Amino acid sequence: MFGIICFITFFGLILVVFSDPLIITDCGNEDDLIKIKNIRMMPDELPIPGNITLSAEIEVNKDLAGAQLDLEVSIQKHFIFWLPIPCSSLGSCAYDVCQVLDNKFCVTGCPPLLANNGIPCLCDTIKAGNYSISNQRINIPAIPGYFSWLATGYYRADLKLRDRTANKYVGCLHIEVTIV
Ligand SMILES: *[C@@H]1O[C@H](CO)[C@@H](O)[C@H](O)[C@H]1NC(C)=O
Ligand SMILES: *[C@@H]1O[C@H](CO)[C@@H](O)[C@H](O)[C@H]1NC(C)=O
């Protein structure tokens, strides 16, 4: 009996050691413009396509009206080593955040995830404050054909927000996740 328990414990430990953990953390500084104070995703693997449940608390320390912000995304996939995923409209790209938000939502309005929680989505309307969503169900769409090779595997990504005017980083999110 004791032997069996030892056996199970041993393999349980191996599974714990070898399963790739979900990590989502703020990798920025204390005085950042945007801070991720808390973020939780369920399940702990990201299904593409599929549904996840997300909770998050984000602090914006200054009104974003007139802000010049770039989001620098770098994504790596784990094979035996970490392989950078290059930028080709998806992947490791830099985005002019306020411009992208304007293009996407200025006419159509904010997506329900934000609108339903009273969270603005255009830089000109985002005021300093704390914003949160709690247990929101999010539908992740399929990746278009060309990128489907990206699919399943263990990834890590850094999302760095850079203030072009001040020429410094003002926010950072680090993610390690298995896509299933
Ligand atoms: C995601 O949820 C919707 C309903 O909210 C459901 O119709 C759909 O099948 C779900 N997708 C997956 C992949 O489970
Ligand atoms: C966010 O909430 C914290 C704690 O409640 C508070 O100290 C801080 O001033 C708030 N930040 C803003 C920008 O309102």
Ligand 2 geometric centre to CA of 60 (Å): 9
User: Model-level pTM greater than 0.75?
Assistant: yes
Instruction: Point out the ligand nearest to the CA of residue 141.
Output: 1
Question: Distance from the CA of 50 to the center of ligand 1, in angstroms?
Answer: 6
Find out whether 27 and 39 touch, Cβ atoms under 8 Å: no
Considering the domain boundaries, does residue 13 fall inside one?
no
Residue nearest to atom 5 of ligand 2 (CA): 130
56 is a domain residue: yes
Instruction: Count the domains in the chain.
Output: 1
Domain with 62 in it: what CATH number? 2.70.220.10
Domain-located, residue 3: no
Residue found by looking up tokens 């309005």 in the block: 109
Query: Residue 16: inside a domain, yes or no?
Result: no
Whole domain around residue 131: which residue ranges?
Answer: 22-179
46 within some domain:
yes
pLDDT digits (tens, 9 = 90+) for 75-84: 999 988 999 9
139 Cβ closer than 6 Å to some ligand 1 atom:
yes
- Is residue 174, in this structure, part of any structural domain at all? yes
User: What confidence tier does 8 reach under pLDDT thresholds 50, 70, 90?
Assistant: low
* 162 within a domain of the structure (yes/no): yes
Beta bridge partners of residue 53, listed in sequence order: 42, 137
> Is the residue at 12 inside a domain?
no
3-state class (DSSP) for residue 56:
strand
Summarised one tens digit per residue, pLDDT across range 129-160 is: 999 999 999 998 887 765 666 678 999 999 99
